[in-house]
């Protein structure tokens, strides 16, 4: 069954996360994310979140507009389906 191996897999993942946390603390980082990002362009988790927030601000109006169009199309489909 699909779920028969669920618990052992969760335990392994929890151990991996704990090991990452221990490693980060031993290397004087607050999180494993900081280790992973230090050599990347973003440099820190805070920079990634800042970038994502700015991206959301920029694309949200267009997304809302496109969702309205999709909703209109769907309503028309529903009206035609009822006929």
Q: Which of 11-15, 19-23, 79-83 has the lowest mean pLDDT?
A: 79-83
Summarised one tens digit per residue, pLDDT across range 15-58 is 999 999 999 999 999 999 889 988 888 888 899 999 999 999 99
Considering the entire predicted model, what is its pTM? Answer: 0.51
Sign of the Cα torsion 15, 19, 20, 25 reads: positive
For residue 27, give the DSSP letter: T
The pLDDT value recorded for residue 9 is 87
How many residues does the structure list for the chain?
Answer: 83
The pLDDT value recorded for residue 78 is 85
The DSSP-derived string for 30-60 is: S-HHHHHHTTSSS-SHHHHHHHHHHHHHHHH
Question: Which residue is associated with the tokens 């151990």?
Answer: 15
Query: pLDDT higher for 69 or 6?
Result: 69
């Amino acid at each position: 069954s699909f779920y028969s191996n669920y618990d052992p897999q969760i335990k392994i993942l929890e151990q991996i996360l704990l090991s990452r946390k221990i490693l980060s603390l031993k290397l004087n980082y607050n999180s494993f994310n900081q280790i992973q990002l230090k050599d990347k362009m973003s440099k820190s988790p805070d920079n990634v979140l800042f970038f994502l927030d700015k991206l959301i601000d920029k694309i949200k109006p267009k997304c809302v507009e496109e969702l309205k169009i999709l909703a209109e199309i769907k309503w028309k489909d529903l009206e035609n389906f009822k006929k």
